Amino acid sequence: ITICDKMNEAYSETFDKKGHVIMTASNLLNVRNDKVSSSIKISYIGNLGLDRWRPLVQIGRVLKNIVYNKEPLHIDVYSSEKRKEVLKHLTAENGIQFRGFLNSSQVIEKMHESTLLLHVEDLDNKINKEKVKYSISTKIADSLASGTCLFAYGPAGVASIDYLKQNNAACVVTEKDKLEVTLRELINNAGLRQRYVN
C-alpha cells in the first residue's frame, strides 16, 4: 500500500508486485467564502524542514513587488519552527510575517480565512528533492478540502507537485522565472482562483 501513484509505480517495479494507492483523506468541510474582500491573505501552514523556507522567501520577495489595494503583499507563515538559522530568513524584508504555532482548530480557521494557501518544496537542493520525491504532505488533503485556492511552488518530478499539476487541483509553478507573472495573475483574478478550488 502506497500513498501516491508515483510511489506505487516505483515500488511495483522495484519489488515486482502490484501495489495499491490509498491517499491521505480529509474530513474538513469546504467553506466557500463569497464575500468580496478588499485584502489578500496568503498563508503557509506547516513544516519548514528540508529547506522549505527557501521557496517561501522567493515567493515573499516577489509578493513585496505586488501591490493590492495600495498595500504590498506578504506571506503569513504558521509553523512550530524554532531553529534560529531558519527563523532569521522569515522577515518582513523577505515578504514574510512569522506567526508561530497553530493548534488544529486554528489551522482550519486560518485556511478558511486565507485567499491563497501555499504548498512549497525546495527547487535548488537535489538531496531535498530526492527526500520528498514520493511524499505528499498531509496538509494537501485539508488544503484541497478547505475551499481556499492552493498555490504550489516546487520542482517537477516530486509527487505532491506532479499530483496537483496533473489533476489541475492547484496553481502550480515549477520554474522561478514564472513565479511573479503567475502570482500576479492569480492574485488579480478571483475567477481563476475559484476554478482551481472547483
In the predicted model, is pLDDT for residue 34 greater than 60? no
Residue among 166, 147, 153, 128 at smallest CA distance from 63: 153
pLDDT on residue 33: 56
Global pTM value: 0.95
- Rounded CA gap, 101 and 98, in Å? 9
pLDDT tens digits, 64-120:
999 998 889 999 999 999 999 999 999 999 999 999 999 999 999 999 999 999 999
**Residue 178: pLDDT over 70:** yes
At residue 10 the predicted structure's pLDDT band, cuts being 50, 70 and 90, is very high
Alpha-carbon distance 107 to 97, whole Å? 16
Asked whether the beta carbons of 57 and 94 are under 8 A apart, the reply is yes
Q: What is the pLDDT of residue 65?
A: 93
Query: Distance (Å, rounded) from C-alpha 136 to C-alpha 98?
Result: 24
Per-residue pLDDT band at 137 (split at 50, 70, 90): confident
Per-residue cell: 142: 485539508
> Who has greater pLDDT, 183 or 30?
183
Statement: residue 154 has pLDDT above 90: yes
Nearest Cα to Cα of residue 151 among 42, 8, 71:
42
Amino acid at 32: R
pLDDT of residue 53 exceeding 90, the answer is yes
Q: Which of 26-30, 34-38, 99-103 has the highest mean pLDDT?
A: 99-103
Average model confidence (pLDDT) for the chain?
94
DSSP state of 163: H
CA distances from 91 to 68, 86, 99, 130 (A): 20, 10, 11, 28
- Phi first, then psi: what are they for 139, rounded to 5°? -70, -20
pLDDT band at 27 (very low <50, low <70, confident <90, very high): confident
Tell me whether residue 105 is exposed, middle or buried, using C-beta atoms within 10 angstroms of its C-beta: 0 to 12, 13 to 18, 19 or more: exposed
Residue 32's pLDDT band (cuts 50, 70, 90): low
Assess whether pLDDT exceeds 70 at residue 30: no
Cα–Cα distance, 139 to 25 (Å, whole number): 10
pLDDT > 80? residue 141: yes
